[in-house]
Structure 1
Amino acid sequence: MKLFFIKNGLMGLLVSSTAWVCWAVADWSEADSTNGWAAIIDKHAHAQTTSGTVWLVGGSNVMFGYNSDYLTTALRRPTINMGIGAALGLPFMLNEALAVAKPGDIVVLSLEYNLRHGDYNAQLCAADFYPPARHYIHYPDQITWLKANAHYQLRKAKNGLNTILYGYGEKKPPTVDDTLNVYFRSAFSKRGDLISHLNNPRPQGLNFDSRESYSPYHDYINHINDFVRDAQKTGISVFFTYPPIAKATYQANQAVFAKWQHELTTHMTAKILTEPTSTVYPDTLFFDTEYHLTEVGRDQHTQLLLSKLKPYCP
């Protein structure tokens, strides 16, 4: 009997030690500077040094879509691009914006069509890099919290085990100057714009006529309206602009987009700066998805926002 307990104790110790090593290696590997979600650290570090700021909020359409240095000069207000990816979801983005914006600031929401809750794995990964972001994650109930966190921790353990067994090998760190890599922590400018793709060749054979299916958006409009209310209470102005979208995508989904646009114009309380068609651009101005502008497209889209926002920036 004594031998039985010793064997089981040793087995338990081995399993727990292996699990600890997997988690430790996963934390180390995911905290690597090449991880794009780690850009949240740098965006928040810069955010703490500004006031009277224009905050650009949304998914990857935002990080590809603006020249914040140009807007800073033209608006005479510091402009910070908070976009990283749509996977962070609308509630996360709104909670983050409310945490960083101060009285007198302006928040511009540029939200992908059908942007909804996002992905818990992405949100928890961002929160691993920037712990205050755990407060940005929205869980409808405790069961969802438990499932999401358990799934994420299991994923980290699996990644850690794969690292132990196979490793990552020697990799040259990506840089803005190379012409291959796009998504990594140092791919952003000081003000948060993605700039790594500006000297990269545009991928060939792109097809932007994918189709969306409609589902009501009123629950997420309620999230936006709650954010507008809370922001206005503290002296923060909120504006909405439609995201840049490839012409082929817009044409393939015009009926579906029209329904979402009707919901937004009818029920959303944020002031809308643009018309849906004004942010539709030729497919050739998009880099690798229907939301990711090239440098030429980015310049045009920046000029559009400037023309619409400048009257509100005395």
Structure 2
Amino acid sequence: MKFWIGFFTCLVTLSLVWIQGLTSQLGTATPTSRWVFDAYQLKLKAAEQIATPKVLIVAGSNAMFGIDSKQLSAYWQRPTINLAVNAGLGLDYILAQAKKAARRGDIIILPLEYALYLDDGDANSQIIDYVIGRDPLYWNSLTQYQKTQFILGMAPERWIQGLRQPIDSPVNSGTYGTHHLDNVGDQTFSGREHQQEQDRAAIAIAASPKKAWRYGERALQENGAWERLSQFSKWARQNQLCVIAVPTALLFHKSYKDSIVERRFYESIPDRVRSLDIPYVGKPFDFMYPADHFFDTDHHLQDWARTIHTQRLIKQLRQSQPCSFR
């Protein structure tokens, strides 16, 4: 009897400590998520201030570095906001931000990283850290099962940081943050002259054949995000939005063409996306570039390469004209 009393007392005590610990985590932001928060605040506010139909660029950081919004504005003859921030947050969160910003008549450009097509929706450390600390509305929109996933997925370091309640200081140094975003959300200070030694070293590593992605292999084993993209497509049509998918910028590896599995993955993307009633403009291999085009990762173009990349996208858009309005 004493054993069971002690066992249940211990269980209740641990449960109370756990609940108290969780309570202290909600709304307690960590420094690692600050730049993403600031970036979204800038971009969503810029979108909100536009009363006329606009263009929204929705993706991870490949598009933050890789698309020149001013060129798209000139082509579409309407304001363009670059909502792209961080692919690590996952497809669901990225699309949720698009839903916040989009209004009837808008055009949504989706230069999604290929990893996002394979996103199974499971919460990773980045989205757990971000949502628990900084987005109570998104947290409240989650199902109980999803909340449990987030809680169980919290790394010990995140628990410790939350309990310590670190100072939430603005980011004003380094590559990432609003200090290097322009007023429409494009990355600045991303030219050759801005590269640090560690940036060049990171590109050299990314160019190694060992660092080539194996998305084709993954696609054979994973269900991916196709159903959730289909739901987003339906939502867009219901709200009279034009959604256009385009290739992401990516560092080219020989294995992407030499491997039958990898080549089929990239070649199949356009038709797979079109099957969801989302127009896909361009071919993935036409938007892969050599290492000297990139800034600090295999997805982040330098500013001069961004100009070339955007011009290629506009050429494809002009040829296909996937939206019935401009």
| 8 A Cα contact 2:125 2:155, kept in partner | no
Is the alpha carbon distance of 1:101 and 1:28 closer, same or farther for their aligned partners in structure 2, counting shifts above 3 Å?
closer
User: Quick check: 1:44 aligned with 2:44?
Assistant: yes
Are 2:159 and 1:157 aligned? yes
| Alignment check: 8 A CA contact 1:67 1:299 kept | yes
Residues 293, 256 of structure 1: alpha-carbon distance in 2 compared, 3 angstrom cutoff: same
Cα distance in 1, alignment partners of residues 76 and 314 from structure 2: 8
- C-alpha displacement at 1:31, in angstroms? 8.4
Render the CA deviation track for 1:129-186: whole Å, top value 9, x for unaligned. Answer: 344444676x6xx34421313544854431256787xx99xx99634xxxxx212343
Corresponding residue SS for 1:147: helix
Could you tell me whether the CA contact under 8 Å between 2:123 and 2:153 is conserved in 1? Answer: no
- 1:206 partnered with 2:209: no
Give the equivalent residue in structure 2 for 1:247: 252
In the TM superposition, residue 57 of structure 1 has moved relative to its aligned partner by 1.0
Q: Do structure 1's residue 146 and structure 2's residue 163 form an aligned pair? A: no
Q: Cα 1:173–1:301, aligned 2, differ >3 Å: closer, same or farther?
A: same
1:29-53 CA-partner distances (Å, limit 9, x unpaired): 53885x3343112211112112311
> Could you tell me which residue of structure 2 aligns to residue 174 of structure 1?
172
Show the counterpart of 1:5.
none
Q: Distance in 1 between matches of 2:170 and 2:97?
A: 33
Q: Secondary structure at the match of 2:243?
A: strand
Please tell me whether the aligned partners of residues 108 and 241 of structure 2 are also in contact (alpha carbons under 8 angstroms): yes
In structure 2, how many angstroms separate the alpha carbons of the residues matched to 1:300 and 1:27? Answer: 41
Aligned to 2:185, which of 171, 187, 192?
192
1:1-314 to structure 2, matched below 5 A, reads 23=24, 27=28, 29-30=30-31, 35-50=35-50, 51-115=52-116, 116=119, 117=121, 119-127=123-131, 128-134=133-139, 142-152=144-154, 155-160=157-162, 174-175=172-173, 181-198=174-191, 199-201=193-195, 202-204=199-201, 205-208=204-207, 209=209, 210-212=212-214, 213-216=217-220, 219-248=224-253, 250-251=256-257, 255-259=261-265, 261-262=267-268, 264-266=270-272, 267-310=275-318, 311=321, 312=323, 314=326
User: How many Å separate the matches in 1 of 2:249 and 2:153?
Assistant: 33
C-alpha separation between the residues in 1 aligned to 2:154 and 2:148? 10
List per-residue Cα deviations over 1:263-314 (Å, max 9, x = no partner). 5514332101111222111221011222111112111111122223354463
* CA 1:172–1:264: 2 relative to 1, 3 Å: closer
Q: How far 1:110 sits from its partner (Å)?
A: 0.9
Output the CA distance in 1 between the equivalents of 2:127 and 2:170. 27
Identify which range, 189-198 or 213-222, moves more after superposition.
213-222
Aligned equivalents of 1:135 and 1:252: distance in 2?
46
* Structure 1 residue 240, shift from structure 2 partner: 0.7
Partner SS state of residue 78, structure 2: coil
Question: Compared with structure 1, are the counterparts of its residues 47 and 131 closer, same or farther at alpha carbon in structure 2 (3 Å cutoff)?
Answer: farther
Superposition deviation, residue 107 in structure 1: 0.7
For normalisation by structure 2, the TM-score amounts to 0.74
Identity of aligned residues (%): 21
In the alignment, the residues of structure 2 paired with residue 133 and residue 298 of structure 1 have an alpha-carbon distance, to the nearest angstrom, of 32
Secondary structure class of the residue paired with 1:302? helix
Q: Secondary structure, in 3 states, of the residue corresponding to 2:58? A: strand
- CA positional deviation for 1:28: 5.8
SS at match of 1:203: helix
d(CA) in 1 for partners of 2:114, 2:69: 22
8 Å CA contact 2:105–2:242 kept in 1: the answer is yes
Which residue is 1:6 aligned to? none
